[in-house]
Copies of this chain bind each other. A is one copy, B any other.
Amino acid sequence: MSSKNKTEVLIGGNIITLGGYESEEYLQKVATYINNKIAEFKKVESYNHQSKENKSLLLELNIADDYFKAKKQVEMVEEELAEKDKELYELKHELIGVQIKLETAEKTLLDMRRDSTEYQKRIVKLETEMIEKNKKQTGKNVMQGKRSDI
């Protein structure tokens, strides 16, 4: 839990003491940002001729403009995020669909392999029987003198 602390910052030549929950590091960062803006403004001739009040107003408007642009960026990235979420959702559903089809195909393959093995066994059995029958028949033919070379 952060505690209240006091930090002195120098902004545009004025020292101000701030009390709050933000760290000294953060407050110095913000002060530097503002001082940099003032330095940029001072490069513009017309700025230097403005009243103190107007200078403050210009500074406030400029910083506020940075703020609004950052807010706009948040909106845009959040929109992108929502689109990605939608894409993810649809992709996940597509994946599930294909996985189910694969499961079904693999199950069918298993059944077909089993059937195939049974067919092959049946064929071997029938062919073996056939050979046996043919042997017996040939044997009989020999015994009954149906072969000319006996």
Q: Which A positions have Cβ atoms within 8 angstroms of B?
A: 9, 11-12, 14, 16, 18, 22, 26-27, 29-31, 33-34, 52-54, 56-61, 63-68, 70-71, 73-74, 77-78, 80-81, 84-85, 87-88, 91-92, 94-95, 98-99, 101-102, 105-106, 108-109, 112-113, 115-116, 119-120, 122-123, 126-127, 129-130, 133, 137
Residues of B within 8 A of A12 (CB): 57
Residues of B within 8 A of A133 (CB): 130, 133, 137
Kindly identify which residue among B68, B73, B109, B126 contacts A108, using a CB–CB cutoff of 8 Å.
Answer: B109
Known: A16-B61, A73-B74, A84-B85. 12 other contacts (CB 8 A): A26-B68, A56-B56, A60-B60, A67-B70, A74-B77, A77-B78, A84-B84, A84-B88, A98-B99, A102-B102, A123-B126, A126-B130
